[in-house]
Each structure stands twice: as structure tokens, then as C-alpha cells.
Amino acid sequence: MEKNIAVIWGDCSSPEIVKQTIRVLDKVAEKYGHTFNYTDAAMGGEAIDKYGDPLPQHELDKCLAADSVLLGAVGGPKWEGLPGEQRPEKGLLRLRAGMGLYSNNRPAKIWPQLAPASPLKPEIVAQGIDFIIVRELIGGVYFGKHETHTLENGEKQAIDSMPYSEHEIERIGRIGFETAQKRRKKLCCVDKANVLDTSRLWRSVMHRLQAEYPDVEYSEMFVDNCAMQIVKNPAQFDVIVTENMFGDILSDEASMITGSIGMIPSSSLGDGTRGLYEPIHGSAPDIAGRDIVNPTACILSAAMMLRYSFGMAEEADAIENAVNKVLDKGLRTADNMSEGCTCLGCTAMGDAILAEI
Amino acid sequence: MEKNIAVIWGDCSSPEIVKQTIRVLDKVAEKYGHTFNYTDAAMGGEAIDKYGDPLPQHELDKCLAADSVLLGAVGGPKWEGLPGEQRPEKGLLRLRAGMGLYSNNRPAKIWPQLAPASPLKPEIVAQGIDFIIVRELIGGVYFGKHETHTLENGEKQAIDSMPYSEHEIERIGRIGFETAQKRRKKLCCVDKANVLDTSRLWRSVMHRLQAEYPDVEYSEMFVDNCAMQIVKNPAQFDVIVTENMFGDILSDEASMITGSIGMIPSSSLGDGTRGLYEPIHGSAPDIAGRDIVNPTACILSAAMMLRYSFGMAEEADAIENAVNKVLDKGLRTADNMSEGCTCLGCTAMGDAILAEI
Ligand SMILES: CC(C)[C@H](C(=O)O)[C@@H](O)C(=O)O
Ligand SMILES: CC(C)[C@H](C(=O)O)[C@@H](O)C(=O)O
């Protein structure tokens, strides 16, 4: 097969991980007889520097013209002082919206080899951590109206609004149920229905959908309780579906309990097969240019792209198995080091994964 | 001194913990020569059953007439099917607003005797967990407009709005700085300033205040990152100040890492000294009526009342020291049991604490 991939190299240490990921993709192409064509697209800090805009239309167009998009991570201290509209994150939000990517899939899965790095007690880790947060990505307070005005008494007031309509909830709700069907068949909808109208609308849509997925065990949980349960008993979760802001908070918490945030990929999809694939970690400005950043989450994001956008399950398995073998051999990057393991730099980790494919 | 305390007995297992708390307060009164007069006020499920309203004005008036309010916990399955406005939680929200309690103080402190119950690894716990979340309590999305309407295409849309004005931020920001001044002098403001206008307004107010508290080391963190850091490295925090919804989520997460949510009290204050004191745990419907619920968080809430509303520091110390001694003796309720300890019921735990005062 021939596939066109738009590549957003990202900022700070991001190009280092993207470079290793492309080497891995090329190796897969060679081994399985595919052709991957890459088009560079600028977003975030790079785009601000080049065009004064974190995502100019011409760069978004490159992403829309591709079969899928690979992204490292954007942002860094250099761009932090800029006003809201011109910040790197704004480019990411506009990319998600511009590509219609309403479904963000964030796995929280512990690699047995890295279990000791989890901040949780071994007894809890031993019960298993393997769940997915399905986060709504282009609705809610991220995309509602934001306004700041001056009240009559002269003080300023800001108002952010959090809108959700039924079709936005239904499409992500279905992804939640369908994801659960392919796994342990448990779906938990997380919200704050004791306070928010949007949460109550979520529940009413979810109740309607529930009838269509009788094989899925469906439950509901308040977001504050969920923040506790993820730490107390993560084994209880299979698939969590939730709105944008809650998904942001809970998926970061969930990634941390795996102890290896440098290992966690993510996919963002919309109605078609074109997706955006990126590690959940940031651009790690503090270690940029030192060839020590962990490329694995980005490489695993590419594996997700092969699986979900290109239907290449075997190829995706090949990458994931390679990562597994590398871990089995005790090879680690600095972020994951533990006693008795060998510490590799970014390029050397890329080499090690390549060698197993 | 003579003090009038409004007592909200609460629902399900709550009256059991309130009963033990009143015994403790009476003992303190006797020992230190005070008089505490109690007036029962109904809120939550009890008020719904009696008056069809989770907080009728006459019950709120009782709270406003008192020197302070002691609350157990409200809610339970019995009232879960009710529409939003009539649910027990709505009584709590109206009580907070009606009393003007904008500042909710939630300590996350590990009791050394209970450290093994933390879900975190001993290495992390050993670094110390002792921070306070100062949560804004009567603004933001909890008290913004909630609306659900039908769009032109026939589908429903809900919108929750999250307003904050400068004076609301300033008064809670000051509490944050002042709380830090009395402790390790570190304040972290948690927000989502890369997305929300309200967060950007928070930051601008906090920057203005910062100049007035030069002895406090001030920092800022995004809420998603904070959800990670609480699990990864809780020792970094001294005081966190944040808006209502983020405070709800983060304080529950923080309470869980202490491993003993049955031990965590909270205070809610406004401009004067009249406050609302309640455990952060819920009404534990599953164990109601069995005399096994842990009364300690409610008893420690009463200690906070003595300290913050009545200026009775010595009396508060007496209660807290009593709890400490009881733990030292290996006495526990079922929720905190560990090997080698003695398991007590609710009344027996009340007895044990009383005996140490
Ligand atoms: C950078 C930021 C706007 C973004 C978000 O909040 O969605 C990030 O935290 C994420 O989770 O991808
Ligand atoms: C019951 C609920 C409305 C309340 C809140 O969200 O404030 C509770 O979770 C709390 O934290 O006191």
C-alpha cells in the first residue's frame, strides 16, 4: 500500500522522537512492501516562528490532504509569553477541530517490565492497569465562547462556556461503547451530573444508546470520585468515556499511574480513517538537543496509526512486539531507568527497536 | 465562652458520626468551661423528606443565626432519582452560597500511623504528604447559568457557564497567600490558562496580589499536570489555590493518596468567622445503621471549628492529640484496619477519643 503521512515535527525535543519514528516507519514499509510518503507540516512553535501563526490554513490543508498525521509535541518556554490566540496550544486545538477529530483515545496500560516505576503500591499494580480513556476532543469548554468584559462597577469578569449538543455526545458515546465491545465490555461514563446540565444531557444520550449495546456493562461515576478511583483501584476500569476537560485531567492522572508517560501513545479520530497520532507527553524543553528523550511513545503512536488509520494490524503488532522485546532486554531511556537496566539515548533506543522489527 | 452551633445531622450513616462528634464537643466544653448550644437544622435528604426542599429558607436561617455549622454528609440512593433542583446536593450548594462561604480548605495530610494505607509507594509517602487545597467554593461553573434548549434542527443542547470576576478571585487568592504564610510559604495556583479566559483572569489577579506577599514563593501549574504531580510527587506541594471545579476534582484525588479518607475534615469560611465544618467523605449509605462508620473526620471537623471559628486553639489541639493517641494505640475503624490493629465500631471509636481528651 502507498500512504501519505503529514509529519508535524514539533518543538524542543520533539524532532528527536519524530526522527526515530520515521526510521521505524521506513523499516516497516521496507519489510511489508509499503510506501510511506511524508509531507512536513508546521504547527505550534515552529509555525509561529515561520508564519506568525500556530496553524496557518496552508499547513492545516497539508494535514487534510494526507491519509493521516503524525505529531511529536508542541510548545516551549520560547512561546509562553504570547497572547492566547498565538500560542502553540492554539495550533493543536485548531488542528483537532479542523480535522474533525472528536474522539481521543488514551490508553493507560502498564508495561509489566516498567511496573516498578508506577507511583502506586505493587499490590495495586499487580491487580492490573489496562484501561482506555475515550475523551471527547472538539466540544465542551475548550470550544465554547470565552469572553472577558468589564462589569458596571469597573471590575473585570471572564466567562467560559461549556456547550454540548446531543449529536456531539452520541458520536463519542458510540465510540465508547464500541471500544468496550472490543475489550472487556465495561464502559463507565464520567461526569458531574449533580452540578452540570451538560452532564445530565450526556447521561440522557448515553441511556438511549445503552439499549443498542446490551453486551456492554454500563456505569456512571462522578468526576471527583473517578479521580480517587483511578488511584485507589485502577483495575476496575476498562473503558471510560468523558467530556473534553474531564478527559484532559483524568487521562493525565491515568498516564502517571502507569509510571511511564514516555511510553503512552494516543490517537485522535473523526468520522473517517484519517487521524492524528501523538504521544501524550509534552515537548520536554529541558532535555532538548541532548539525544536522551524517550522516542517510544511517538513510535507507538505510529503503530496506532498503522492499526487504526491504515488497517495494518500485523505491522502495528510488529512495532509493539519490538518495543516489548527491547524492554525485556532491559533497555531503557533515562526517564524509565531502574537498577540492572541499560540506559540508552534517543537514537540508540530507535536503533534497538529497529533491530527487533 | 458560649457558642451556638447549628447541627446538620445528614443522611444515611451521617447521624452516627455527628453523634460521636457532639459527645466530643461536650467533653471539650466541660473540660475547658465552655457552653455549646446545639440547634438542629435539616438539609439534604432529611429536608427533602420533611419539607420537600433540600434547604428551606427557615433551615438556612438557623445556620445564619448560629456561630458556626457542623455538618455530617448528605445524600443517598433514596433521593437519587429526583430532578436537579430537588436533590440533596443542591441543599449543600445553596447552604454554601447562602452563608457566603467562598473559601473551602481541604487538608491532605498523611497520619504517619496510617501511611501503610496510602495507595502510593512507601518511597513517595516517606517524602511527606502535607498540603492544603484552598478551593473557591461559590463561583465558577457551579454557580454559573445552566441551560438546556432545543436547537433549530431539533436536537437538544446544554450549556453550562463558568464565570469569575476579579473580586471573587482576589478574596480567595488572599486566603491562598495567607494560608501559605502560616505554613511552608509556598503557593501554587492551579488552572487551565492555556484554554480558559477565567484562568487567565485568575492569573492576572494573582500576579497583582503576589507583590503584597513577597515572602511567599508563588508558582502556577495546569490542572492536568497537577493531577499527575499529586500522584507522582505530592511532597512538592504546600498550598494549592484553585477554582471550584478543579478544587473538587483535585481535593478528592489528594484525599485518596493519604489512604484515609475517613480521617479528613474540611472547613468552609467566608468573610466573618462563621463557618461550615464537614468531613470530606460522603454519607456511606452502604454501611448506615451498623455502627461501623469512622467518626474521626467529623470529629476533626469540629476541631477545625473550634480553631478557626471560635479561636479555641488549645481545645482543637486537645481533640487532634486525642485522635493521634488513639491511632498510636493501634485503634482503628474498619475502613483503616491493618494487621496488628484493633478494630472498633463508630461508638467505640468515639469512646476511645473521648477517653484521651
Ligand atoms: C496543550 C493543551 C491545550 C492540551 C489539552 O488540554 O487538550 C493538552 O493538555 C492535551 O491534553 O493534549
Ligand atoms: C456533592 C457535590 C455537589 C459536592 C461538590 O462537587 O462540591 C461534593 O463533591 C464536594 O466536593 O463537596
Q: What is the pLDDT of residues B18-76, one digit of tens each?
A: 999 999 999 999 999 999 999 999 999 999 999 999 999 999 999 999 999 999 999 99
Q: Is it the case that residue B85 has pLDDT exceeding 90?
A: no
Cβ(A357)–Cβ(A24) below 8 Å = yes
| C-alpha span between B175 and A142 (Å, rounded) | 29
For ligand 2, residues with CB inside 6 Å are A 194-195, 224; B 89, 92-93, 248
Q: What is the pLDDT of residues B336-347, one digit of tens each?
A: 998 899 999 999
Ligand 2: centre distance to CA B164 (Å): 19
Domain range summary for chain B, segments of one domain joined by +:
1-99+274-357, 110-260
Neighbours of A65 (CB within 10 A): 12
Which of left, alpha, beta for A286 (phi over 0: left; psi -120 to 50: alpha)? Answer: alpha
Cβ(B196)–Cβ(B246) below 8 Å = no
Per-residue DSSP letter, A290: S
Q: Which residues of A28-53 are buried (b: 16+ CB within 10 A; e: fewer)?
A: bbeeeebebebeebbbbbbbbeeeeb
Question: Would the CB atoms of A200 and B148 count as touching at under 8 Å?
Answer: yes
> Class assignment of domain A110-146+155-259?
alpha beta
What is the pLDDT averaged over residues B69-84? Answer: 91
Q: Which atom of ligand 1 is nearest to the CA of A248?
A: 11
Neighbours of A83 (CB within 10 A): 8
| C-alpha span between A217 and A186 (Å, rounded) | 5
Residue B170 sits at φ, ψ, to 5 deg, of: -60, -45
Residue B250 sits at φ, ψ, to 5 deg, of: -70, -35
Cβ(B162)–Cβ(B196) below 8 Å = yes
Strand order in the sheet with B146-150: A146-150, A156-165, B156-165, B146-150
- Where does residue B77 rank: exposed (0-12), middle (13-18), buried (19+ CB within 10 A)? exposed
pLDDT at A111: 94
| CA-wise closest residue to B158 among B149, B167, B170 | B149
pLDDT at A338: 87
**Which residues of B fall within a CB distance of 8 Å from A122?**
121
Task: Identify the residue among A161, A168, A170, A244 best suited for mutation to test binding to B, counting B beta carbons within 10 A and taking the highest.
Answer: A161
Q: Which residue of chain A comes nearest to B281, CA vs CA?
A: A225
What is the pLDDT averaged over residues A192-209? Answer: 96
Residue A83 binned pLDDT confidence (cut-offs 50, 70, 90): confident
Q: Collapsing DSSP states into helix, strand and coil, what is residue A161?
A: strand
| C-alpha span between A218 and B320 (Å, rounded) | 43
Mean pLDDT of chain A: 97
CATH architecture of A1-99+274-357: 3-Layer(aba) Sandwich (3.40)
* Fold equal for A1-99+274-357 and A110-146+155-259: yes
Residues 6+ apart with CB under 8 A from B246: A249, B135, B190, B191, B192, B223, B226
Q: Which residue of chain B comes nearest to A146, CA vs CA?
A: B197
Q: What is the pLDDT of residues A93-112, one digit of tens each?
A: 999 999 999 999 999 999 99
- Element (H or E) spanning B7, and its range? strand B2-8
Question: Would the CB atoms of A165 and B155 count as touching at under 8 Å?
Answer: yes
Annotate A66-77 with DSSP letters as a single string.
SSEEEE-----G
Q: Select the residue of A155, A159, A166 nearest B166 (Cβ to Cβ).
A: A155
Residue B297 binned pLDDT confidence (cut-offs 50, 70, 90): very high
Cβ(A19)–Cβ(A80) below 8 Å = no
Residues belonging to chain B: 357
Please determine, looking at this structure, whether the domain spanning B110-260 carries the CATH number 3.40.718.10. yes
pLDDT at B188: 98
